[in-house]
Amino acid sequence: MSTVISPPGGGTTVAIHEQPHVPQPKQVGKPGGFLRRTNFLTAVISGIVLAAIFYFVTVAIVNKVTGGGQQDDLSLPDGLQAEIAMMYIGWVIGFMAGIGAFAGPIRWFLGNDLTHADAEYMSGKDMGREKYWKYTTDHKVVGIQYFIVMMVLFGVGGLLAMLIRTELGITWAEVFNPNFYNSLIGTHGIVMIIAMIIAVTGPLGNFIMPLMVGARDMAFPRLNALSIWLLVAAIPPLISNLFMGGIRDGWTVYQPLADQSPVGMIGYQITIIVFAFSTGIASVNLITTIVAMRAKGMTWSRVPIFIYGILGSAIMGLIWFPMYQYSQILALSDRVLQTSFFTPASGGSVWLYENLFWLLGHPEVYVIVLPATAALLELMPVFLRKPLFSYKLAIAGIFGIVGLSAVVWVHHMYMTGWAPASNYPFMLSTELISIPFSFLVLVMLGTMWRGAPWTKLPMMAVYAVIWNKVIGGITGVYLSDTPVDQYMHGSMFVVAHFHFMLMGAGLFGAMAAIAYWFPKMINRYLDERIASIGFWTAFVGFQITFFAMFVAGLQGMPRRVLQFDSLFNVANWVSTIGAYIIGTGMLIFLYAIITSWRGGELAPGNPWGAHTLEAQTETPVPHENFPVLPVVTSDPYDYGVPDPYELADDDAIREAEGVAKVGA
Amino acid sequence: MSTEITEPLSPTTGEPVSTTSRRDRLGVWLIIASCTTGTVSLLIAYSYLWSLNVNNAWAPTEGSANWAADWPFWAIAGGMVIGTLLIWRGYGALKKGNVGAMKSMALISTLILLACFIGQIFQIATFPFGPQDGAYASATLWLALANCIWLSLAFFFTQALFNRARRGRLTPDNPSHAQFVAMFLTYLCVAALLSAVFTLVMKDSPNTNSPTFGTFQQ
């Protein structure tokens, strides 16, 4: 993408450092104020203190109301429900207060607006590594924070996956007791879902997207910090469920089983409620930044396809996440307040839960897969040095998926008995969504056609993802058929299918995207050799694990079982061996990330010769991203199309206007 | 070449306030869109349970005499509408240069919304049923609780408008925060009115032959 530099003050956005004369509110104290004293440590302390206060106060109130007859066994569904719920709520409020999240709203309430110096302090300017532990508003810092949190979540979820596969692989003995095994399944599921949702839109949506649209920061920097720290606050309640009876009902936590689960379920519910706030806020920020902060000249037909992927994902997150959030609010209410939303005995309906849950539960797949796919579409023209095949078809595919995602949720409920007459219309809509998905695969194949790929890891990963996506997609079409689903429902075949989509397309796509943008984010190349070994080891292990799981499913093995017939032994042994290969591959990939981060080869500003705006600024990215805001003058994928500046061949002009000479 | 910028600039980013306002307005619309989905979830829950009447347990256990009174819903929603109209009026006056009117309207609106908030808590405390008394009780309780949460937010926003107007942060050439609060309050009014309509119209379940699913107890 060619860029020219706007005249000073000529853009709609004016650089901070160019406006020293802007009248400032009165500076009270040092810049940053209260936030100078807050960080992750103060947040944890404050969270623990408030959690303890909430817990003991609730214990006192409940004892007073019930006369002290409260069941305090945490392994039982009715043990200390209100107390645990209030403890988690106290933790979240205390943590957010301790990190400084309430300082901004309170200042606004009192009419004390931020000064320029306050804003600079909050953005972490000249702060060093300390800024990563604070309520820092700079999008680059938030992107790195998301990156770290994502890796931690994948680490936890991956470890739980290993434990699950260990149990299933050791067919001659029982490693865990059944309740703990069920908890492993449920916790693994939801941890991985959260990690996958943030895998691309978290680190790359925050770090790369504003650079790519030519903005100085996200539209709402303080909301950006709020979204990441809400996510951090949401994690301890989720993990702690393992010590409070666990989540025994899978990540879907169907009612009324969830209502009868131990109090660990409350951790799940609080986590989802808080995470939904985090996602909603992040979605508002992403959409507003894309719609309102694009560089001059970046019309909708010049917006990079990765941005469209982020936009589509954010729209779905914004609209559908509240449904999931309310399903958990009402479920928590059923537990703690004894209401009857999902309890049939007193007028509730489990179908209501399933509808609310799957209204987000299925679009969430596209929330995960869309940005990862769009990232691959973004990097392919760079490594093939040719334009993206049918850019408009790709956009149609993305928004076709966004639109149809609203009318597919019932395919998760074919077998529940809810409105059987709706099965066939939803079967049709589910099969229809494979068409826009195919658009995206077609654009990938078209872009590859007669291309000479630069065989770097990000590009090679595209082949892996296409394979996974085709397998996941085709098996998905089978499962969307009601007659087939009657047989396959609840089997290991379903588990293998959604892992091919979520992990095969989502996670492997995210790994490719991380490999591509790692030099821009970290200022160093990702070690190509070690990362490739890790990636392909994980890929091979992935095929072994989940093809064996397809076989187990076709043989009739149900999911979420600890003990099974010896008929399924071989498939499970193979699957477990594959899982350990995945684990090894992922550890190698993680090793590549850590060693490259610490001492990898330094990367230039535009390591791959890309035309998009993020590649036109230097690395490490300056605090305000661009010296002056860029103006876009051409299409994003005009590889092979002569650049007007190249044609002019006037180095003096180019040099004067600061336009990088990029390869065609 | 430099461009003459006559309108006020944002102290934090240096951009013209019209630029930041446009951006913020889009953000408020998106937040409203997201909140709307949440409200729709509650209304779906209410109407769905009303239509199913599972185990014949929609109505409060004591029978139809225990429906919640209608008038508090309408009184609270009416109060919210008046509070919202005042903020819109204050915003209009502010744009014309009358900061004093904005202050007065924000203060009166705050008091009205505070009264609504207290009324909402009173209504919840005096419902003729407990949360465990069937699906109607649950759904109605949560419509009222949601209203309560919205009202506390509304109170925070309007009081903030008063504080900001008093501190000179709301000016005729930078009135956007008043508009954002008015927009959000309008959404809250719609949510409160919908709750009132649902609780008024959907009392006795149309399903007199209700399905029985057993107790699902362990």
- Banded model confidence at residue A63, pLDDT cuts 50, 70, 90: confident
d(CA A380, CA A460): 10
Q: Say whether A5 sits in a helix, a strand or coil.
A: strand
d(CA A217, CA A199): 20
Q: What are the residue ranges spanned by the domains of chain A? A: 413-601
pLDDT attached to residue A76: 57
* Signed CA dihedral, A482, A483, A489, A491: sign only: negative
pLDDT attached to residue B1: 45
**pLDDT tens digit string along A109-138?**
998 888 888 888 999 888 889 999 999 999
pTM, entire model? 0.92
User: Quick check: B90 pLDDT over 50?
Assistant: yes
Share of chain A above pLDDT 70, in %: 92
Q: Any chain B CB within 8 A of the CB of A356?
A: yes
| CA distance to A12, A137, A210, A295, per residue, from A15 (Å) | 10, 17, 15, 13
pLDDT attached to residue B16: 87
**pLDDT tens digit string along A409-448?**
888 888 888 888 888 899 999 999 989 999 999 999 999 9
Q: Any chain B CB within 8 A of the CB of A140?
A: no
Nearest to A14 among B14, B23, B27 (CB): B14
**Cis geometry, peptide bond prior to residue B211 (ω within 30 degrees of 0):** no
What is the average pLDDT value for chain A, to the nearest integer?
Answer: 89
Q: Which residues of A touch B30 (CB under 8 A)?
A: 283-284, 287-288, 318
Do the strands A630-632 and A3-5 form a parallel or antiparallel pair, or are they unpaired? antiparallel
User: Quick check: A20 pLDDT over 70?
Assistant: no
Strand partners, A296: A631
Q: Which residues of A touch B34 (CB under 8 A)?
A: 280, 283-284, 318-319, 321-322
pLDDT attached to residue A643: 58
In terms of Cα–Cα distance, which of A491, A555, A577 is closest to A168?
Answer: A577
Most A-contacting residue of B19, B49, B54 (CB-CB within 10 A), to test interface: B54
Q: What is the mean pLDDT of residues A27-46?
A: 90
Share of chain B above pLDDT 90, in %: 67
Q: What is the mean pLDDT of residues A250-262?
A: 88
Determine, for residues A109 and B169 on separate chains, whether the beta-carbon distance falls below 8 Å: no
User: Quick check: A215 pLDDT over 80?
Assistant: yes
Q: Which residues contact A573 (CB under 8 A, 6 or more apart)?
A: A169, A171
Q: What is the mean pLDDT of residues A320-329?
A: 94
Q: Which residues of A touch B173 (CB under 8 A)?
A: none
Q: Which residues of B touch A179 (CB under 8 A)?
A: none
Which amino acid is residue B11, in one-letter code? Answer: P
pLDDT attached to residue B99: 93
d(CA A661, CA A160): 48
User: Quick check: A23 pLDDT over 70?
Assistant: yes
Q: Any chain B CB within 8 A of the CB of A104?
A: no
d(CA A194, CA A364): 10
Which of A11-25, A78-92, A227-241 has the highest average model confidence (pLDDT)? A227-241
Please check whether residue B56 is in contact with residue B213, taking contact to mean a CB–CB distance below 8 angstroms. Answer: no
Q: Which residues of A touch B214 (CB under 8 A)?
A: 344-345
Burial of A403 (0-12, 13-18, 19+ CB in 10 A): middle
For residue B216, the chain A residue with the least C-alpha distance is A256
Determine, for residues A355 and B48 on separate chains, whether the beta-carbon distance falls below 8 Å: yes
In terms of Cα–Cα distance, which of A365, A398, A205, A231 is closest to A287?
Answer: A205
Chain centroid, CA A328 distance in Å? 20
pLDDT attached to residue A72: 59
Share of chain B above pLDDT 70, in %: 92
Determine, for residues A339 and B132 on separate chains, whether the beta-carbon distance falls below 8 Å: yes
Q: Say whether A164 sits in a helix, a strand or coil.
A: helix
Lowest mean pLDDT among A78-87, A152-161, A260-269, A289-298: A78-87
Please check whether residue B185 is in contact with residue B126, taking contact to mean a CB–CB distance below 8 angstroms. Answer: no
Q: Which residues contact A622 (CB under 8 A, 6 or more apart)?
A: none
Chain centroid, CA A434 distance in Å? 22
For residue A7, the chain B residue with the least C-alpha distance is B1
- Banded model confidence at residue A268, pLDDT cuts 50, 70, 90: very high
Q: What φ, ψ does residue A568 adopt, rounded to 5°?
A: -95, 5
CATH architecture of A413-601: Up-down Bundle (1.20)
Determine, for residues A327 and B132 on separate chains, whether the beta-carbon distance falls below 8 Å: no
Q: What φ, ψ does residue A4 adopt, rounded to 5°?
A: -125, 160
Nearest to B54 among A111, A323, A344 (CB): A344
* Signed CA dihedral, A136, A137, A140, A145: sign only: positive
Looking at residue A134, what DSSP letter applies? S
pLDDT attached to residue B207: 85
Q: Say whether A286 sits in a helix, a strand or coil.
A: helix
- Count, residues in chain A: 664
Q: What is the mean pLDDT of residues A234-243?
A: 92
DSSP character string of A425-467: HHHHHHHHTHHHHHHHHHHHHHHHTT------HHHHHHHHHHH
Determine, for residues A114 and B11 on separate chains, whether the beta-carbon distance falls below 8 Å: yes
Place of tokens 């000073």: A8
Q: Which residues of B touch A273 (CB under 8 A)?
A: none
User: Quick check: A14 pLDDT over 90?
Assistant: no
Q: What is the mean pLDDT of residues B35-41?
A: 94
Q: Tell me the shortest Cα–Cα distance from A367 to chain B, in angstroms.
A: 16
**pLDDT tens digit string along A601-656?**
999 999 999 999 999 999 999 999 998 889 998 888 888 766 555 555 555 555 55
Determine, for residues A15 and B166 on separate chains, whether the beta-carbon distance falls below 8 Å: no
Strand partners, A557: none
ipTM over 0.95 threshold? no
Determine, for residues A319 and B34 on separate chains, whether the beta-carbon distance falls below 8 Å: yes
Rounded to whole angstroms, the maximal C-alpha distance in chain B is 78
For residue A338, the chain B residue with the least C-alpha distance is B132
Domains of chain B: 20-52+70-201 (1.20.120.80)
CA dihedral in degrees (A174, A175, A179, A185; nearest 10)?
Answer: -110
d(CA B216, CA B218): 7
Q: Say whether B174 sits in a helix, a strand or coil.
A: strand
pLDDT attached to residue A655: 58
d(CA A497, CA A638): 37
Lowest mean pLDDT among A314-318, A420-424, A538-542, A578-582: A420-424
Q: Which residues contact A389 (CB under 8 A, 6 or more apart)?
A: A442, A443, A445, A446, A447, A449
Please check whether residue A257 is in contact with residue A248, taking contact to mean a CB–CB distance below 8 angstroms. Answer: yes
User: Quick check: A664 pLDDT over 50?
Assistant: no
Looking at residue B69, what DSSP letter applies? P
CA dihedral in degrees (B197, B198, B204, B207; nearest 10)?
Answer: 140
